[in-house]
Each structure stands twice: as C-alpha cells, then as structure tokens.
C-alpha cells in the first residue's frame, strides 16, 4: 500500500527519511518566528533594548545565511548525513544555551550558534531528499518538505505564544532539545550517507568577505535606529559593507573554487527563483515581528491570544503547499508562483489599512490571503531552483536557495525594522511636547518607546500623571501605526515585484527542447565552474 503516495519496496524507509528531515527542518524554521512572540517578555526579563530585539532575531538568521553555502559544500564533499548530524548536534546544544541565558548578550550569542547549526543541517535536509527519491517522486517529497517549512514559519507565533504564556520564554528554546535528540537517533539509523560525484572545495576568502559584508550592512541598519545615520560608526559600517560585498563578488567571479559559482546565475530559472526567495523572506519575515508588536502593544493581546490569531495563515499554508507542489509538477512553476506572490502581496498591502480597532475578521481574511499566497509559492519556487541545478548539485542548489531566503530575512528585519522605528520616533517626539512632558521626561519616554512597547508602570515611574499616560498611549499608538503602515507598504511592493519576476522569468510547462537546452546550459556552466 503506498505511503504518502510513495511506492516501492523501500517506501517505508523513504517516508521515515522524509519525516525525519521534515522534523529537523521544522525545528530550524520554527526558530525564525517562534521567538517573535516571546520578545516582549524577553525584553522585561532580560532588560533588552530595541537593538537587542532585532539582534536576537537577526543574530540567528545572519549566521544561518552566512554559512549555508559552506554547509552545502561540506555536505556534498564530506557526506550529507555527517554534516546533517553535526548541525543537528550544534543546534540542539545551542538551544539549551539559549534557554539558560541570563542576559540579552548571552541570548544573542547562543542564537548565533543556533544559526551555525541550522546552516549545517538545513542543506542536508533537501539534498538528502533529492538523492533518496527518484525523479518521479521528488516533486511530491519536496512539496511536503516545503509545506513543512512554511507551516513551521506560520506555526511559530501560535506555538510560541502558548509556550510563553504557560511555561515561560525559556521553554521556547528548551523544546528543541528532545526534538533534536529524537531526530538524531532516527537519522543515525535510517539515513544513508551520500556525497557528490563532483568535488567541491571550501572557499574561505569568499566566506570571510561575504559574511563580513553582510554583517556590516546588518549592523548599520539595526544600530542606526539608536545611533543615527550620521554616526561615524554607522557610516563606516555602510562603507565597509559596500567594499566587502563588491570584493566578494569579484573574488567569486575569479576564484576557481568559488563557494557561490556566479555562472549558475546565467540560468534564468535559477536566478529568478533565488530572487523570488530573497523577496519573499524580505517581505514576510519582518511581518511576523511587526504584527506581533501590533497585537500585543497596540491591541493588548496576551502572547497566546496573539499566536492564535495567526492560525488562519497557518491553516492556509497547510492546505495550499502540497497542492501547489503537485500543480507545479503538472503545469510548471510559473503560474503557481505568480498567483501566490500576487495574492500574498494583496494580503500584506491590505494590512496597511488596518487600525487599532479594526475588527479581527478583516485581519483574519488578510492572513488567509497571505497564507494561501505563501503556500502557493514555496514548493514551486524550491522545485524550480532544484530542477535548474540538477541532482548532482543538490547541496549547492539547496544552500544557495536558502541563503537567498535567509539574506532576505536578515535585511527585511533590519531594513524594515529601521523604517518602522525611525517613523515611530519621528512622529512620536513632536507629540510628546503636546501632552505636557518636560524635555527630560520626553527623552526618557522616547527612549522607552523605541522598544516598540511601553508599560504603564514604566510610564508612572517616569513621573507621568494619569492624564499624561493616557495622552502618551494615544500618541504612541498613532506613531506606531504610521511606521507599521509604511513598513508593510514596502513589504507588499517587494512581493508584488517578485510576482512580476516570476511571471517573466520562471518557466511554465516544460517542453522537450526547453529541457534539453537547460540541461546543456547546466552542463556547460558546471564544466566552467570546475
């Protein structure tokens, strides 16, 4: 009897491998969003600043993005199972460290270490599936894998809210430990070792240049909110980012051992798929953070109540992703991706019209659109990129796709977070004088408000009267919504642009001559990259 639609004598073994990879993937992807719900609690418990909040998220994503290509190369060269198990071990131990952290700086450090582990295990999940399943079953397996990825991202807020409210913020990280141990035990017994027939080499100069440039850019975007754009350190960081990233591209173009072979971007499907992956993450990752703050700081929901309100998005991803993967196999990825990105952008742009008292059923409809669009996009996008590189470059293709996603997430959180909090501050400060605050009180309140939320007790401690506290609540709400709307407008336009890219450059139903042309181009590029 077929298991999950897979047939053959080893169907049971293939399903176990698929489920193990999905569990490990879910654990890594959950940590992209599950922490967002806990941020207000972490702020109060660890006295975290607004920069700390962004670094708690971006520290993980930055390490993840920077090392994904290296993780894929290590897996292809030394063994995908070996690197998967190594990454899983690092991620599990780092999760334990996160839960035991006693300060914001400790938590940021262990979050970055989590990212290192995720970068080693993530490429293995997809490349192991690519070599485990034959071509006729690969799209179905990747569809399930991509569905789990999207589900984990969407389930993060609900699960995180329940855990924070009932067990404390530390449990958000502790829950990874038993999952990691179980996944390790199963993978050790069931996953077969595999390596690429084509030798890949480590590219340490490329790793240093790329990671350094991305870190400098992220640092500037996040810290500019506190220091100001004219600060010498911010200006120096932006200049360093430009120099390092240009040097990275020059090195990758000239190096015979490039970690990111630029000739692959000559493949139209590969380039467009990675551009879409970057855009989706830039537009969507930050939304979880912004909407979480909106739910808790503006509407007053508890963490669990906030998480529950993400369920419409979660359900739509569960329903849509497998169907989209199957549809893309039949008609090609262009139509599902174009449709999904258009629908997702409509949902995000719709959020730019919501107000503090907007009925939730309206927001729920927008969440449905976003979940349906995201689910319609992820599986076809992944299948398109993996099909462009071929099975022998599975680790590289997986790593480059996920790198695009994670870099988009890093810059989305940093850039759109800066947009939101800069607008919040510029609108709020003039309003503080109107409610009768002294310069000292206004400065202290503005500093507290830059966290994205301020408690009444904190305001009372600054000497504000009940009338001033009420006036501040209104001013803060209006200021936050102004920044919220601007950030989401940019995110929605990014997704809409990605829909145009998908429609223009992603192939539809493949014909025999197109397949032969892609294969010939891929072989030529592979030969030139070696």
3-state secondary structure string across 376-435: HHHHHHHHHHHHHHCHHHHHHHHHHHHHHHHHHHHHHHHHHHHHHHHHHHHHHHHHHHHC
Q: Which residues of 149-186 are buried (b: 16+ CB within 10 A; e: fewer)?
A: bbbbbbbbbbbbbbbbbeeebbbbbbbbbebbeebbeb
- pLDDT for 399 equals 66
- pLDDT for 358 equals 94
Q: Does 524 have pLDDT greater than 60?
A: no
Q: Does 198 have pLDDT greater than 70?
A: no
The pLDDT tens digits for 279-314 are 998 888 777 778 888 888 888 888 888 888 888 887
pLDDT over 70, % of the chain: 85
6 three-class SS? strand
Helix (H) or strand (E) holding 171: helix 171-174
- pLDDT for 1 equals 43
The answer to whether position 110 is within a domain reads: yes
For residues 1 and 8, what is the distance between their CA atoms, to the nearest angstrom? 9
The answer to whether position 453 is within a domain reads: no
Query: Confidence band (pLDDT; 50, 70, 90) for 416?
Result: confident
- pLDDT for 436 equals 72
Pair 86, 211 in one domain: no
**62 vs 7 pLDDT, higher one:** 62
- pLDDT for 511 equals 43
- pLDDT for 516 equals 44
Pair 100, 130 in one domain: yes
Pair 187, 214 in one domain: no
Q: Does 250 have pLDDT greater than 80?
A: yes
Pair 99, 186 in one domain: yes
Among the three residues 258, 276, 304, which one is the final residue of a domain in this structure?
258
Average pLDDT rounded to a whole number, residues 379-385: 81
Backbone angles phi, psi at 6, to 5 degrees: -100, 140
Torsion of CA 126, 326, 315, 291, to 10 degrees: 60
Pair 104, 234 in one domain: no
Query: Confidence band (pLDDT; 50, 70, 90) for 510?
Result: low
Q: Does 523 have pLDDT greater than 80?
A: no
Highest mean pLDDT among 62-76, 227-241, 395-409, 417-431: 227-241
Pair 384, 522 in one domain: yes
- For CA atoms 206, 108, 298, 464, the dihedral sign is negative
Pair 214, 284 in one domain: no
Q: Poorest-confidence range of 21-35, 316-330, 465-479? A: 21-35
CATH number of the domain to which 36 belongs: 1.20.1250.20
For residues 388 and 271, what is the distance between their CA atoms, to the nearest angstrom? 10
Pair 250, 265 in one domain: no
Query: Confidence band (pLDDT; 50, 70, 90) for 362?
Result: very high
- pLDDT for 80 equals 84
Helix (H) or strand (E) holding 162: helix 135-167
The answer to whether position 31 is within a domain reads: yes
Q: Poorest-confidence range of 169-173, 282-286, 382-386, 518-522? A: 518-522
What mean pLDDT, rounded, does the chain reach?
Answer: 80
The answer to whether position 277 is within a domain reads: yes
- pLDDT for 448 equals 65
The answer to whether position 341 is within a domain reads: yes
Overall domain count for the chain: 2
Pair 95, 59 in one domain: yes
Q: Does 319 have pLDDT greater than 70?
A: yes
Q: Poorest-confidence range of 269-273, 451-455, 489-493? A: 451-455
Q: Does 490 have pLDDT greater than 60?
A: yes
Q: Does 512 have pLDDT greater than 50?
A: no
Average pLDDT rounded to a whole number, residues 177-182: 89
Among the three residues 258, 283, 299, which one is the final residue of a domain in this structure?
258
C-alpha distances out from residue 72 to 125, 202, 231, 390, Å = 10, 10, 38, 14
Average pLDDT rounded to a whole number, residues 431-443: 73
Pair 164, 289 in one domain: yes
The answer to whether position 463 is within a domain reads: no
Among the three residues 258, 276, 294, which one is the final residue of a domain in this structure?
258
- pLDDT for 302 equals 85
Pair 212, 239 in one domain: yes
Q: Does 368 have pLDDT greater than 90?
A: yes
CA atoms within 13 A of residue 67's CA, in its CB half-sphere: 22
Average pLDDT rounded to a whole number, residues 483-492: 94
The answer to whether position 435 is within a domain reads: no
Q: Does 174 have pLDDT greater than 70?
A: yes
Question: Tokens 């071990």 correspond to what residue?
Answer: 89
- pLDDT for 157 equals 73
Q: What is the token pair recorded at 422?
A: 């800069």
Domain that holds residue 247: 203-258
The answer to whether position 5 is within a domain reads: no
Query: Confidence band (pLDDT; 50, 70, 90) for 497?
Result: very high
- pLDDT for 235 equals 92
- pLDDT for 527 equals 53
Highest mean pLDDT among 33-37, 45-49, 416-420: 416-420
Q: Poorest-confidence range of 60-74, 242-256, 304-318, 455-469? A: 455-469
Pair 109, 127 in one domain: yes
Average pLDDT rounded to a whole number, residues 78-99: 91
Q: Does 21 have pLDDT greater than 70?
A: yes
pLDDT over 90, % of the chain: 20
């Amino acid at each position: 009897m077929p298991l999950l639609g897979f047939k053959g004598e080893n169907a049971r073994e293939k399903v176990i491998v698929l489920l193990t990879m999905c569990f490990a993937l879910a654990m890594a992807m959950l940590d992209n969003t599950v922490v967002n719900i806990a941020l207000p609690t972490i702020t109060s418990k660890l006295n975290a600043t607004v920069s700390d909040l962004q670094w708690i998220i971006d520290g993980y994503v930055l390490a993840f993005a920077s090392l994904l290509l290296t993780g894929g190369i290590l897996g292809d060269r030394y063994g995908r199972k070996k690197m998967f198990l190594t990454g899983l071990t690092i991620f599990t131990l780092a999760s334990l460290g996160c839960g035991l952290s006693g300060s914001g700086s400790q938590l940021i450090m262990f979050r970055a270490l989590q990212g290192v582990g995720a970068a080693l295990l993530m490429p293995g999940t997809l490349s192991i599936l690519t070599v485990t399943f034959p071509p006729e079953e690969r799209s179905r397996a990747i569809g399930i894998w991509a569905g789990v990825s999207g589900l984990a991202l969407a389930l993060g807020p609900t699960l995180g809210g329940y855990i924070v409210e009932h067990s404390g913020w530390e449990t958000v990280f502790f829950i990874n430990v038993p999952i990691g141990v179980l996944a390790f035990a199963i993978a050790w017994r069931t996953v077969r070792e595999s390596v690429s027939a084509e030798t890949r080499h480590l590219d340490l100069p490329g790793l240093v240049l790329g990671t350094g440039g991305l870190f400098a850019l992220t640092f500037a975007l996040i810290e500019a909110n506190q220091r100001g754009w004219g600060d010498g350190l911010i200006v120096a960081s932006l200049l360093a980012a430009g120099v390092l990233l240009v040097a990275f591209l020059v090195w990758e173009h000239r190096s015979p051992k490039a970690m990111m072979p630029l000739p692959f971007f000559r493949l139209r499907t590969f380039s467009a798929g990675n551009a879409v992956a970057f855009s989706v993450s830039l537009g969507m990752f930050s939304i979880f953070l912004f909407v979480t703050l909106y739910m808790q700081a503006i509407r007053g929901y508890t963490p669990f109540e906030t998480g529950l309100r993400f369920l419409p998005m979660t359900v739509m991803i569960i329903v849509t992703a497998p169907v989209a993967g199957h549809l893309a196999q039949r008609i090609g990825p262009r139509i599902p991706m174009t449709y999904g990105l258009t629908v997702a952008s409509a949902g995000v742009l719709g959020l730019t019209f919501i107000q503090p008292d907007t009925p939730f059923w309206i927001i729920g409809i927008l969440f449905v659109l976003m979940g349906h669009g995201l689910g319609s996009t992820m599986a076809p996008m992944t299948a398109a990129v993996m099909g462009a590189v071929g099975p022998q470059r599975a680790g590289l293709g997986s790593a480059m796709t996920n790198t695009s996603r994670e870099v988009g997430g890093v810059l989305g959180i940093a850039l759109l977070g800066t947009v939101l909090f800069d607008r919040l501050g510029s609108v709020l400060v003039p309003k503080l004088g109107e409610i009768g605050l002294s310069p000292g009180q206004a400065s202290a309140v503005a500093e507290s408000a830059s966290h994205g939320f301020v408690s009444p007790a904190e305001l009372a401690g600054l000497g504000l009267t009940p009338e001033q506290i009420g006036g501040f609540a209104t001013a803060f709400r209006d200021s936050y919504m102004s920044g919220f709307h601007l950030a989401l407008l940019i995110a929605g336009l990014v997704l809409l642009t990605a829909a145009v890219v998908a429609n223009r450059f992603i192939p539809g139903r493949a014909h025999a001559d197109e397949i032969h042309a892609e294969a010939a181009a891929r072989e030529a590029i592979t030969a030139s990259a070696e």
